[in-house]
Amino acid sequence: MEKKKREIIYDIFSFLPLEIIYDIFSRLPVKSLTCLKCVSKFYRSLVSDPSFLDIHHTHSISRPDKTKFLACSLGGNFSYTVDEKVQHTKASVLHIEELDGINYNRFDYVNGLFCLWSVELHPPVIYNLTTRKVRFLPRLNSDGNEFTHYYYSLGFEPGEKKYKILMITHPEKTPTRCWIFTLGSSESWREIESALSLVLPISISGGVCINGVIYFFGKYNNKVYIVEFNVRTEKFRIISLWKDEKYIPPVKFYNLIELEGKLAAIDHSRRSRTEMDLWILERSERSEEWVKYIIAFPYMFLSTWLMSFVCCSYTPDGEIVLTTNSSYTRNWIFFFDLKKKSWRGIEIPDREKIDIIGVYSHVDSLVSCIYC
């Protein structure tokens, strides 16, 4: 009886124009569409079609409950989820039991997938928030150096809809080497040539992927730059930091974020003065320039900001998200509306010592479900 019912439903939709079918099913949540793939080959091909993926992603962004904020903790055993529309409430805890307590202390997040890693550990792990599946990437054959450090960046190329993991290895007293792993088509790491073999990545502040380009901090000749890596062409480029500042603070005070498709940097080294700097990279065909904005902290949050380090992100609704990280006060997630110049805060539940190392704006994506 159940099988006959499924066949009737399939027959009804098979006679509809494809654009109407796309419009109907693109409004369903990811979990429903994942189950739908098991009904027939028609639905399986529909859910995997690149055009359908684009339409579904557009509708996902426009949903009222589209965004979940994840504040990831040191150790990788759990994260916090937050409803962005609910004010003055506590975050809920999401345990990631699949990681089995492995101590990953770095996170990259792009389009529904996490890359969990540590400078001392290899290989990294891919974690899908929607399907709750974990994939351990293959191990790189050892080159005999026991003191190699590993740096990873997760990138997504929207044109070809490919996820790539960039790995930079730094054996002791030797130049860095670069490797690529492509999800869905690779079985091993592939080494690529790089003109930036003397650039050492700085992992403490993390990186960001914007429109198929990964950005992260790196050091060259004892000077800090932003390194740009094109996920499609697999080419590197160096971007200079703002030069009109007499004093450039340590990189630990910086966070790179995406702001309306542009690269931006948060500098919270001056939080003792109750403010932070927002730098936006404005680009044209012939030039690029850093533009500075100053954001003042609200009086009610000052006691928390003075003792905390900050992780940052940006929401599709135009808010900058920041987390506090303190041993002395409760941790919070703060939202700053760039247009309204207003603040709101959400408290993170009390636990034993928690180190928040990343905050991410998550929208369910069908693309990520294909790979993990």
Cβ atoms of 288 and 263 within 8 Å: the answer is no
pLDDT band at 369 (very low <50, low <70, confident <90, very high): confident
Q: Say which range, 212-216, 307-311, 335-339, has the weakest mean pLDDT.
A: 307-311
What distance in Å separates the CA atoms of residue 359 and residue 339, rounded to the nearest whole number?
A: 21
Q: Which residues pair with residue 154 across a beta bridge?
A: 165
Say what percent of the chain tops pLDDT 90: 16
What distance in Å separates the CA atoms of residue 43 and residue 33, rounded to the nearest whole number?
A: 9
355, with CB counted inside 10 A (0-12, 13-18, 19+), is middle
Pick the CATH number of 64-371 from 1.10.760.10, 3.40.1710.10, 2.60.120.10, 2.120.10.30: 2.120.10.30
pLDDT band at 329 (very low <50, low <70, confident <90, very high): low
27-43 core/surface letters (b: 16 or more CB in 10 A; e: else): ebebeebeebbeebeeb
What distance in Å separates the CA atoms of residue 184 and residue 57, rounded to the nearest whole number?
A: 20
What distance in Å separates the CA atoms of residue 153 and residue 164, rounded to the nearest whole number?
A: 8
What distance in Å separates the CA atoms of residue 239 and residue 228, rounded to the nearest whole number?
A: 7
pLDDT at 210 over 90: yes
Q: What phi and psi values does residue 72 have, to the nearest 5 degrees?
A: -90, 140
Q: Where are the domains of the chain?
A: 2-59, 64-371
Q: Would you state the pLDDT for residue 6?
A: 46
Q: Would you state the pLDDT for residue 231?
A: 95
Q: Say which range, 225-234, 250-259, 284-293, 311-320, has the weakest mean pLDDT.
A: 311-320
Pair of tokens at residue 84: 């962005």
Q: What angle do CA 353, 358, 362 make, to 5 degrees?
A: 125
- Predicted TM-score (pTM) of the model is 0.83
Return the C-alpha torsion angle 70, 55, 58, 112, nearest 10. Answer: 10
Closest CA to 355 of 68, 69, 70, 76: 76
Tens digits of residue pLDDT in 141-177: 755 556 788 899 999 998 888 999 999 988 776 778 8
Q: Say which range, 11-15, 51-55, 308-312, has the weakest mean pLDDT.
A: 11-15
